[in-house]
Amino acid sequence: MVEKKKTKDFGISIEEMAKAGVNFGHRISKCHPNMKPFAAGVKGSDHINMIDLEKTKEYFVKMLEVLEDLMKQGKTILFVGTKLPIRKLVEETAKECEMPYIINRWIGGTITNFGIIKKRLEHFKDLENKKESGELDKYTKKERLEFDRELERLDQKFGGIKKIEKLPDALFAIDMRKDELAIREAKAKGIPVFAIADTEVNPDKVDYFIPANDDAISSVKYILEKVKQVILKNK
């Protein structure tokens, strides 16, 4: 008798996803036609579209399998999550994974005009090095204050990506609507995009997606925790 090969599920639990609110979508009136296959019904007087967690698990596993392969190849994932409530969570996850991230406003051309961005990153790092070495001490108090303000602005814009030397190998977008420009730029450069697809977006705009709630912190946290586990295990 041939033993059936056990399917890898990365510890994804439908019960845990339900508890985290992964299955709560938007109002049915806002549902994108391409997300209808992932709907499991409507809940409450607000007609909230519920997401089929069986399908969420299926697509989540597929995504994690691809991420696993990328990590084994030593690839870099750029995390993008500019929606205010989940910024800190995205930053913490990326830092633990030692991956670049953008949590404030996406700067147009970050990917499509990377040469220009790289020059800004070099200036940022050079200014940081000069401050740390004491080279800026020769300037007046007013001038040093201006340097500090510039460093603060640069850190807010580029702090999460200052160590990158080349374009990322993939991009992970938390909110497809909020971070649409980042997704467009990645696609324009042929960079594969992973994303959470809530019920109001078109999942066909990315390469790999998880049909899930992208608003609840508990939902995003559950998803990022699984992503982090795969990255750290296979780096």
Per CATH, the homologous superfamily of domain 19-111+167-234 is: Glucose-6-phosphate isomerase like protein; domain 1 (3.40.50.10490)
Question: How far from the centroid of its chain's Cα atoms is residue 214's Cα?
Answer: 11
Q: Which residues contact 77 (CB under 8 A, 6 or more apart)?
A: 67, 70, 97, 99, 168, 169, 170, 171, 172, 194, 231
Find out whether 170 and 191 touch, Cβ atoms under 8 Å.
yes
Residue ranges covered by each domain of the chain: 19-111+167-234, 114-158
Measured between alpha carbons, how far is 152 from 94 in angstroms, rounded to an integer? 20
Q: Which pLDDT belongs to residue 218? A: 96
Q: Which residues contact 150 (CB under 8 A, 6 or more apart)?
A: 127
Q: Which pLDDT belongs to residue 3? A: 47
For residues 52, 55, 56, 58, the Cα torsion angle rounded to the nearest 10 degrees is: 160
Measured between alpha carbons, how far is 101 from 87 in angstroms, rounded to an integer? 10
Q: Which pLDDT belongs to residue 49? A: 80
Q: Which pLDDT belongs to residue 224? A: 98
Q: Do 19-111+167-234 and 114-158 agree at the fold level?
A: no
Question: What stretches in the chain show pLDDT beneath 50?
Answer: 1-5, 44-46
**Angle in degrees, 0-180, between the axes of helices 141-158 and 114-133, rounded to the nearest 10:** 140
- Average pLDDT along the chain: 92
* Candidate CATH numbers 1.20.120, 1.10.287, 3.90.920, 1.10.12; the one for domain 114-158: 1.10.287
| pTM of the shown model | 0.91
